[in-house]
Each structure stands twice: as structure tokens, then as C-alpha cells.
Amino acid sequence: MRVLPPLLRRKPAVAVLMCVPLFALILGLVAYPFFHALFLATLNKAETAFVGLDNFTFLFGRQTFWMVVRQSLLFALVAVVFKALIGLAAAHAINTIPTKGQRKWRGMMLIPWVIPPALSTLGWWWLFEPTYSAINWGLTKFALPAVPWLSDTFWARFSIILVNVWVGAPFFLIMYLAALKSIPGELYEAADMDGAGPWQKFFYITLPMIRNIIAITTLFSIIVTLANFDIVRVLTQGGPLNSTHLFATYAFRVGIESGDIPLGAAVSLFMFPMLAILAFIILRNVRRRAASLA
């Protein structure tokens, strides 16, 4: 029988060794790109000289950049709120179905989330196509006016939010459904005996019991939604009038398409401090609640 070397017989050493692939992934795919982006954001346009925070101060003087900030926040907030509401409602609806029939509904509801967004958004683009929109074709069949889905600033913003909600709501659904299933049934039985109505049960049992999941899901979704790229890229390319640019697409326009990588890096890093603070606050509250429940 082969005997393990002494080093591998020590549990901490084995644990560290087994974590090496994870550390390597985090170093290579998270830490290195992040610090490289920080480094790039401190260079001049030609990437030949260190300019400190000049790229950020330059951005603060750009009208389009502030428009992008406002749009990104609007996009993220509206989309996350609707994703959360729809996810919660759908999770409740599915949770009321007998367990036997739930699987097919869960599967169907997850479809928008599992299709690569670049592909599904292409399908939406055909529905919204500026001249030959399939939806408009249907509307005009009922003598309704065509909607400028992608050519009007309001409707273009509406369209990208709609697609984002369509793609992202199933994530909330599945998270909320798992949370709902973890609530002990006795709590609802006791509430029934006390004569509580559906809304009372929802506000005094369901919501408090899934609050941590709501917080974590919302945090995760805000980060992912703020970083969205593919929907805008496929549907509008940031137009019309730059009115649908988000941080990622604007960074792409400035950095990749226009060849100003340092400025693009500065755009993409702009939200990092705010998101870091938000994540810290939300996760701290989650931790505290978990501790109090324990």
C-alpha cells in the first residue's frame, strides 16, 4: 500500500492544495483583470505615461458620461424592481401548484434565463426591428399605431429594460422559490389558526423569512444589471442619441471602438466603489440577520 507523503497527511496542507485551482482562477480571472484595469485607467490615451486620476476628472466633465450614469442607474433600478416583483409573484404562483406539476413550470419559466442573452436578444431585435417589427405588424393588423421601439429614446429605454426583465426574472423566481420552500409549513398553519389572511401571512411570515434571500438576490442582480452589455449592444448599440448606453457599452464605445482604452477602463471602474459599499452594507445586514436568527 502506498503511503502519502508527510505533507499531504496534514489536513491543512491538503486543504490549501485543493484550493490552489480556485486561487489560480480568482487570481487570473478576477484579480489580474481588475488590477490591470486600474493600471490602465491611470495611463494617458497612448498608454505611454502615468496620469493618475486624470481620466476620471476628464470623465466628470463630459455630458455624455453623466447621461450614461443616470441611464445606468435608471436601467438597473427599474429592471431589478420589476425582476424582483415578477420573480416573487411567479415563485408564489408556482409554489401553490402541487409539487408533482411544479417541475415543468419551473423548467419553462427558466428558459429565458438559460438561453444565451446575445441570441435571445437577437430574437427580440427581430420583434422590435425599426422598420419591420413583428410586434408592429401585429399592432397594425388591429389598426393600432406602430411603436418606435428602438428609434425613440423612451421606447428604446423601455425595450432594453423589458428584455432585461424577461431574461433576469427567472433568476429571482428560482431563488425565491427555493426560499419559499424553506419556510416551515407550521408557521402558516399557526397563522391560519390565528385567523390571518393571505396578505398578513405574506407580510408577517413570508417576507421576513425570505428577507436575506431578497437582499442577496437584489445585490447580485444590481451588480449584474449595471454591468449589462449584450442587450444594449444587440438592440440599440447605445442609440438613439446615446440614450441607452450603460457603463459597459459606453466603456466599449470609448475604449475599444474609439481606441481610448484608459478612458474606457475609467468608465468601467466608475461604479466599483459605490457597488463595493453597497455590497458591504447589504452583506453586513444579511450576516447580522442570520446571526440573530441563529
Partner 1 sequence: MAMTAGRTRRHVLKAVGASAAGALAAPYVKTAGSAGRLRLGVIDHWVPGTNEVLQRILSRWGETNNVEVTVDFITTIGNKLLLTAQAESRAGSGHDIYALEFQMVPMFKHRLVAVDDVVEDVISTHGPIADISRQAAFLDGAWKAGPSPASTASAATVARRDLFLAHAGIDLTEWFPAGDARDPALVDRWDWESFSDAAGALHAAGRPVGAAIAPVTDSSAWLAQLFASYGAAVVDESGDIAADSDAVREVLAYLTRLTEFMPDSVYAWDDASNNRWIISGAGSAIFNPPSAWAVAKRDNPDVARHLWHCDAPRGPIGRFRAFNSVFWGIWDFSENQSAARDLLRYVAEPEVVVATLEASQGYDLPLFRSHYDRTRVWAEAGPPVGGLYNYALRGDERTVTDGYPAPPEIAARISTQRVVPNLVARVTQGGDSFDDAISWAENELEGVLRG
Site residues (CB under 8 A) for partner 1? 44-46, 58, 61-64, 130-132, 148-153, 156, 233, 236-242, 253-254, 256-261, 263
Q: What is the DSSP string of 103-135?
A: HHHHHHHHHHHHS-HHHHHHHHHHHH-TTT-HH
Distance CA(217)–CA(144), nearest Å, equals 39
Q: Which is nearer to partner 1, 117 or 238 (CB)?
A: 238
How many CB atoms are located within 10 Å of the residue 248 CB? 20
Nearest approach, Cβ of residue 142 and partner 1 (Å):
20
- Please check whether residue 84 is in contact with residue 221, taking contact to mean a CB–CB distance below 8 angstroms: yes
Output the nine-digit C-alpha cell for 245: 448606453
Distance CA(93)–CA(18), nearest Å, equals 42
Nearest approach, Cβ of residue 247 and partner 1 (Å):
16
Q: Which is nearer to partner 1, 60 or 204 (CB)?
A: 60
Q: Which is nearer to partner 1, 49 or 93 (CB)?
A: 49
Q: Which is nearer to partner 1, 147 or 227 (CB)?
A: 147
Q: Which is nearer to partner 1, 95 or 153 (CB)?
A: 153
Residue 139, classified by CB atoms within 10 Å of its CB into exposed (0-12), middle (13-18) or buried (19+), is middle
Nearest approach, Cβ of residue 260 and partner 1 (Å):
8
Nearest approach, Cβ of residue 27 and partner 1 (Å):
20
Q: Which is nearer to partner 1, 102 or 153 (CB)?
A: 153
Nearest approach, Cβ of residue 166 and partner 1 (Å):
20
Q: Tell me, what amino acid is at 258?
A: S
Nearest approach, Cβ of residue 87 and partner 1 (Å):
30
Q: Which is nearer to partner 1, 118 or 190 (CB)?
A: 118
Distance CA(168)–CA(223), nearest Å, equals 12
Q: Which is nearer to partner 1, 152 or 205 (CB)?
A: 152
Nearest approach, Cβ of residue 237 and partner 1 (Å):
5
Closest CA to 175 of 95, 273, 121: 95
Q: What is the DSSP string of 193-259?
A: HTT--HHHHIIIIIHHHHHHHHHHHHHHHHHHHHT--HHHHHHTTT-STTTT--HHHHHIIIIIISS
What residues have CB less than 8 Å from 150, skipping those under 6 apart? 125, 128, 129, 130, 156, 159, 235, 236, 239, 240
Nearest approach, Cβ of residue 45 and partner 1 (Å):
6
